Amino acid sequence: NFGRFDNFAVVINIQIFNRWGQEIFASHTPGEKWNGTLPTGLYAQEDVYVWVAEMRDTNGEKHKFYGRVTLYR
């Protein structure tokens, strides 16, 4: 099943970066989601952003995953 990771227990860290590599969102709280705003509270522009997620598997080992997300309103 797409999006299902049976051997991963929790996302422990997620970061989102703009096209210039500036971090615009970071969370260390499981389940916290990016709402499309910048640290200033303004809406981020429609664009492609890079995310980095660190997960811990059921054996306690950490793994990093990278991807892109397109923000549009």
Q: Decide: residue 51, CB within 10 A, 0-12 exposed, 13-18 middle, 19+ buried.
A: middle
Q: What's the pLDDT tens digit per position in 31-54?
A: 889 999 999 999 999 999 999 999
The residue-averaged pLDDT of 10-35 equals 91
Alpha-carbon distances, residue 44 vs 4, 21, 36, 56 (angstroms):
28, 14, 6, 29
Q: Which residues pair with 69 in a beta bridge?
A: 49
More confident residue, 4 or 55: 55
Residue 59 banded pLDDT, cuts 50, 70, 90: confident
Q: What is the pTM of this model?
A: 0.79
